Chain A
Amino acid sequence: MKVKAFLIAAFAAVVLNVSAATSQNDGVITVKVNKASKVLVERWIEGYKAVNPSVQIALVSGKNADADLTLVTRHQEGVNVTYVGRYALLPVTSTENPLLSDIQKKEWKSKDIKSLFFTAEDLDEEYEEEVEGKKSKLKDKLTVYSGSGKASLSGIFASHFGRTIDDIRGNRIAGDDLYLLNAISEDKASVTFNALSNLYDLSSRTLRSELALLPLGVKASQREALRSGNLDETLDLIEREDIDLIPVEDIGFTYNDFDADIDHFLQWVVREGQQYNHEAGFLQLTNQEVESQLRLLAQNN
């Protein structure tokens, strides 16, 4: 019975996905998302449909999928884009990391994070690491995991610290950044970074039990919020204060064809949809950003 139900469900899902992927402007708005943003976009769709029940919005995914709206996780040049939220990245390790106590003893300042995650600023130091095999420091005992795909936020993390994705030390993964957490759970003596939406349990609003944040070298009041392990306190803190050690970047929807349905949906997300951002682990747009995005949308009409 279970097998039969699964097969029917699978068939239905495939049909839904295929039809969503192939439909363009036939009354259904298709939206392409990555795993990390899926919950947020689903919240928006639910909220929007609650006030616009006649609108059909379908999620699509997959590397070849085409959609009316595509969620992007960084600033875009030369395309139509409306920014709809923000996210923050934090460095993290596994609670089972044998070096956890050493990690937590430190206050990780900017230079420490750069030293841990990136190839050496001083090329001589890099040479010593490579050729002479010096592995005395904590950083030398930790493996860094980062993403390699276009959708990975590794590039955002690197550019925040003035470096490029190619400068990140250690091993790479291919796949959604969510899998970076899998990687550090398998290779315990390792570190990575990830978006709050992946790091925190959205139901309990607390840091996932198998993860430990790297203690950042921030002001005492800020440290308190980060240490609390509470998602909402962390979101409030990052929205309230500009913390140099925490990369923050916009997310947005890109689109090629702009019509009234898309316009209404995007306006709603910019105005009303912000209320769902925290729930999904994302930061809200600032008031200034809301105004500027609405202004840009108005220019499209």
Chain B
Amino acid sequence: MIRKRLFIAAVLTVATSFAALAQRIEGTIVDATTGESILGATVRYGDGKGVTTDIDGHFAIDVKTLPVKLNISFTGYRAQTVTVYDDEEDINVKLTEKRSYLNDVVVVGYGTQSRTQLTGSVVTVKSDVFENSTASTLDGALSGQVAGLNVTAASGQPGAESSIRIRGGNSVNASNEPLYVVDGFIYYKDANNSGTGIGAIESSLNPLATINPNDIESIEVLKDVSATAIYGSRGANGVILITTKKGKLGEKKAQISYGYSLGLSSVSKHLDLLNASEWAQFQKTYFSNKGGYTDEQIKALVKGTDWQDAVLRTAVQQAHELSVNGSTDKSRYAFSANYTDQDGIVLNTGFQRYNFHTNVEWELQKNLKFGINATYGRSKQQGFTTTEEQVFNSSPYSAGITNSFVYALLMPPVIPVYNADGSYNFTNPYEYAYFAIGDHASNPVYDLKESVAENVNNYLLSNVWASYKLGDFTLKATVGLNSEKLTQNYFSGAYTSLGLATQGIGGTGNRQTDVWQQEYTLSYQKELGIHQIDALAGYTKQTSTSTHSSIRTNHFTNETLKQYNLGDGANIYTPQTGISESTLNSLIARVNYTLLDRYNATATFRADKSSRFSKNHRWGYFPSLGLSWNVDKEDFLSSAKHLDYLKLRLTGGLVGNQEIPDYAFSTSYSTGSYGGTSSYAKANTANDNLKWETTASYNLGADLGLWNGRLNVVLDLYYKKTSDLLLEVPMGFASGVTSQLQNVGNVENKGIELAVNGTLLKRRHLQWTASANLAHNHNEITDMGKTNNVIQGADNQQILRKGEALGSFYGLQYLGVVQNGEDVTKLPTVNGLTPKAGDAKFADTNNDGKVDGNDRVILGSVQPKLTYGFSSQLQVREWDFNITFAGSYGAKLYNALGRRLEQTGDSYNVLSTVKDAWTPTNGSNSLPLASTSRPFSYIDSRYVQSASYLKLRNLTIGYRPRLPKTFPASVRIYATATNLFTITPYKGYDPEVSSGTDNGAYPSARTFAFGVNITL
């Protein structure tokens, strides 16, 4: 008891004595949601005294007496009052962000910026979009999410690339793909150095396959020139900034997450082909009835072999994800590993990927930070071999038989896949044109199963950086290497379609691409009363080296090891090797200035020196200016209490495009062999005037927010003019080449974009949001120089013409079928002959009394008039629902596959639509009388079909079970459906074919997947 009294007395004494002395109070201010330290928060106490928190969110004050009241505030956060009664614990204050769109910090080129200060058009896509998608690459999840960003899959092939267009295409021969920047570092993929030179493989690996969508924290899409000009020569097609997940500062406990998903895919649409009875009857009626079927036998054939079903399958896909994120006092880290295995819905096709990603950052000294970002992985894609290079016995490719999948659709349904003994059937008496030698014919099921067409990419994307803060200045240096090794393997045995003529053909090719980049920047940030300045200057250098080699042989005697025993091939093609090098040196500068938190200006300048242009034209200069006005901050709107923000933006500037092959400005020769010795052929003739393709771009935009984030609207109007178009211009014989890259002509894009997102219900346990976007773009070639009317495509189906859009289709206008009793004398002649009943009718557009190539007209273009997307998310306590639609209206697609499958003959199967072809008793206008010949090789309007569509891209239902507090993990289980339905008038498999010509592209799949995510 005495001791207790002594203790109390002592405490009282010490307290009394210390009261007269200064007392230190220390604490930390962090974001309540992210746990990240808040730099620059103000802590006021006493009579207006105040301190601000340092980079760790830490503050320390000395007070004479306790208690003391601290008022803590930071822009964009709710202020908080804390009364300090004792100093036994450090004070840890969590500030809650005021929910407002304008508090967003947006990632921009070489930095970040508050959305209030932004002048450019920048759209952010958050990670939940990727979490709800089972797409193995990020482009698959981006579709329909951003106004003006149009994603078109090349095909349904797993791992295949997509075409991404931001505000339409600017260029004809240079790349139209946007630039990708991952964690501030350019992910440069040279579109001109993508293959190994081996050919024969139809699909190419998606360059975005190197990025695991689940590693993505957010994506910023930079659309207008104010945002993209800092990337100068590579900003013309827009920029996509990818920010990967990082450990959160202050979150000391490592967050460990594991995810697994398992899905089943099947073809989303079947083509309706003739069955065996129908086909045999068709043969008997119109052709020679090679099978000699009687009517009874024809009836008995019924379905026969469904070759379409025979090459399609229900495919399994699965993915494992493991990630570890966390931080210590002086560092933060993130690590992830991903394995994706996706079987394709066509036999022996698929995509696999291993991917490891790490992102670590250390604070080495008070103002010195150091970080490493690295991704290592391997992706493998198995696809189709292509007949593109087959030239024997005329070309199956130009006849529309582009690959073994298409060949399967063409197979007569009376031919079985297997013989009675289970072996493959190689007998097909109907095949005599392309894939038969003697009694031996190809079997597409065998083709697909036994052929090899694979792309294997081993990649390392890495960079290290260090930054040093010196007062208001920050110095940053980044050095990185993106190294990729692509191997392409190809083998078609002697019994396959492609190996038939050569007794087996195989090859292998490698391409090693190393892109070194260095970036050195100095930035300055200062707030001087009503002025805020943020400036950046820097130098960057990119050096790319790409080497490739390939070898092919044929005439195999032993196919066991396929492409791994090319030495068995008796005939050796000339080996191909090559190297390509380029450098890009750049100076960058940007100043952001904000006055009174209302008026913002961004001035950007980039100077690029590219080795891809001739000596006198290597430097390109790309300036831009952006202005924005936060109108809501003006006094005259202060009473508008439901107005969160209203901003007007105006930007203008120049960006460029240098995505052309290396050395296109100089004369070059290609090697080959001729008569057993090596030979050289002129490949390119020098163009000393080759220079930058430049795009002048202007944007007028408005951002509006109402009712505390309930409704956000973004409206943009833009105009882009691309000048000095990099165009392959046809050359005369004297030049020694067929074409040359020249700066000819202009292309214009103008459009309007609207994005609206709203919160329909906003209760703590019930939230419902919806967002929609709509974009219209008008694309037009406004100048072609002296080279108007450049016809392109294997079927001469497209044309470059002044006044028309890029990707315009060019062909005859189909008018129907000549009917019995029709006055044929009034019809234009076809090939000098008067049409007769049952013949196709075409428009004589030049009214010269005959139909020929001069009557071809523009039949539409690949450019959609409208693209749109709609998505909605509903969260009800533990349940979450997500639905995403994407659509396109007004684009056209050349259905080359449909044209092939409606071409009647005595060898191949056809679409069931031919049952409605004209006959003397069926006055149809859809198809003419069945015949083996066409009057013209030109395409006609029947096969340039509407590619408008509305797709239900994604439907996801998730559930987070409430688990006991003692359970160490949180769990989410989900079910998701992808491509659940497509509404489209397009008659092929899928209206999304990025090339604009559907040659029998890999069909798209409908996928149902289930998954679980566990977070410790």
Q: Which of A's residues lie within 8 Å of B, judged by CB?
A: 5-7, 9-14, 16, 42, 61-63, 75, 77, 120-124, 127, 130-132, 148-151, 166, 171-176, 179, 182-183
- Nearest residue (CB) in B for A42 is B4
The one of B4, B83, B96, B708 in contact with A183, judged by C-beta atoms closer than 8 angstroms, is B83
Max count, chain A CB within 10 A of own CB: residue among B25, B67, B80, B764: B764
Contacts of B191 in A (CB 8 A): none
Decide: B84 and A173 in contact? CB cutoff 8 A. yes
Q: Most B CB atoms within 10 A — which of A172, A173, A174? A: A174
* Chain B residue with the shortest CB-CB distance to A170: B81
Expressed in whole angstroms, the Cα–Cα distance for A231 and B765 within the complex equals 38
Binds A, one of B86-94, B339-347, B861-869: B86-94
Of A123, A174, A175, the residue contacting B762 (CB under 8 A) is: A123
Cross-chain contact B86 with A175 (CB below 8 angstroms): yes
Q: Return chain A residues, CB-CB under 8 Å to B764.
A: 120-123
Is B6 within 8 A of A149, CB to CB?
no
CB <8 Å contact, B13 and A9 = yes
- A171 x B88 contact (CB < 8 A): no
CB of A276, distance to nearest CB on chain B (Å): 15
In the complex, A193→B93 CA distance in Å?
A: 20
Count A/B pairs, Cβ under 8 Å.
117
Binding site for A on B (CB under 8 A): 3-4, 6-7, 9-14, 17, 25, 27, 32, 66-67, 70, 80-94, 96, 98, 641, 707-708, 762-765, 767, 965-966, 968
Q: Which of A6, A16, A123, A131 contacts B13 (CB 8 A)?
A: A6
B712 smallest CB distance to A (angstroms):
15
B93 contacts which chain A residues (CB < 8 A)? 148, 172
Q: Please determine whether A151 and B7 come into contact, CB atoms closer than 8 angstroms.
A: no
Residue pair A149, B89 in contact (C-beta under 8 Å): yes
Docked-complex contact A127 and B89, CB < 8 angstroms: no
Known: A63-B88, A150-B89, A166-B96. A174 touches B27 (CB 8 A): yes
Contacts A122-B763, A174-B27: A13 and B89 contacting too (C-beta < 8 A)?
A: no
Q: Report the bound CA distance from A179 to B965 in whole Å.
A: 30
Flag if B641 contacts A132 (CB, 8 Å).
Answer: yes
By the criterion CB–CB under 8 Å, are B708 and A171 in contact? Answer: no
Q: Which 6 A-B pairs have the closest CB atoms?
A: A13-B10, A175-B85, A179-B85, A10-B13, A9-B9, A175-B86
The distance in angstroms between the C-alpha atoms of A6 and B12, with both chains bound, is: 9
Residues of B near A131 (CB, < 8 A) are 641, 708
Report yes or no: A176 in contact with B10, Cβ–Cβ below 8 A: no
C-alpha gap A77/B965 in the complex (Å): 10
Select one of A122, A124, A151, A173 contacting B83, CB under 8 A: A173
A67 to chain B, nearest CB (A): 14
Given contacts A120-B764, A175-B86, 12 further A-B contacts (CB under 8 A): A9-B13, A10-B9, A13-B9, A13-B13, A42-B4, A63-B89, A121-B764, A121-B765, A124-B762, A148-B82, A172-B93, A175-B85
From residue A135, how far is it (CB to closest CB) to chain B in Å? 15
Q: Which residues of B contact A6 (CB under 8 A)?
A: 9, 12-13
The reply to whether B91 and A182 contact each other, CB–CB distance below 8 Å, is no
Would you call B85 and A150 a contact (CB within 8 A)? no
Contacts of B25 in A (CB 8 A): 174
Complex: chain B residue closest to A150, CB-CB: B89
Do residues A16 and B7 form an inter-chain contact, with CB atoms below 8 A? yes
- Once the chains are docked, how many angstroms separate the CA of A176 from the CA of B88? 8
User: How many angstroms between the C-alpha atoms of A174 and B764 in the bound complex?
Assistant: 28
User: In whole angstroms, how far apart are the Cα atoms of A151 and B3 in the complex?
Assistant: 27
Most chain-B Cβ atoms within 10 A of its Cβ — which of A63, A171, A173? A173
List the A side residues contacting B767 at CB < 8 Å. Answer: 123
Cβ of A171 and Cβ of B90 under 8 Å apart? no
Contacts of A5 in B (CB 8 A): 9
Q: List 23 A-B contacts (CB under 8 A).
A: A6-B12, A6-B13, A7-B13, A9-B6, A10-B10, A10-B13, A13-B9, A16-B3, A16-B7, A121-B765, A124-B762, A124-B763, A127-B707, A130-B98, A130-B708, A131-B708, A166-B94, A171-B82, A173-B67, A173-B83, A173-B85, A175-B88, A182-B67
Closest to A3 in B: B13
CB of A44, distance to nearest CB on chain B (Å):
14
**Cβ-defined contact, B81 with A172, below 8 A:** yes
For A121, the chain B residues whose CB sits under 8 A away are: 763-765
Please give, as numbers and ranges, the residues of chain A lying within 8 Å of B965 by CB-CB distance. 75
Residue of B with least CB distance to A7: B13
On chain B, the residues within 8 Å of A75 by CB distance are: 965
Q: How distant is the Cα of A183 from the Cα of B81 in the complex, in angstroms?
A: 12
* Shortest distance between the CB of B957 and any CB in chain A (Å): 23
A175, B25: Cα distance in complex, Å = 11
Contacts of B89 in A (CB 8 A): 63, 149-151, 174-175
Contact across chains for A148 and B91 when beta carbons are under 8 A apart: yes
- State how many angstroms separate the Cβ of A59 from the closest Cβ of chain B: 8
**CA A5 to CA B12, docked complex, whole Å:** 12
CA–CA, A75 and B765, complex, Å: 26
Q: How far is the CB of A111 from chain B (nearest CB, A)?
A: 13
A284 to B417, CA, bound (A): 80
The reply to whether A10 and B4 form a contact with Cβ atoms under 8 Å apart is no
A-chain residues with CB within 8 Å of residue B70 when the two chains form the complex = 174
| Contact call A61/B88, Cβ cutoff below 8 A | yes
Shortest distance in angstroms between A117's beta carbon and chain B's nearest beta carbon?
14
B17 adjacent to A10 (CB under 8 Å) = yes
B91 touches A12 (CB 8 A): no
Pick the contact of A175: B80, B84, B94 (CB < 8 A): B84
Complex: chain A residue closest to B12, CB-CB: A6
List, in ascending order, chain A residues with CB within 8 A of B763's CB: 121-124
Residues of chain B within 8 A (CB-CB) of A173 are: 67, 82-85
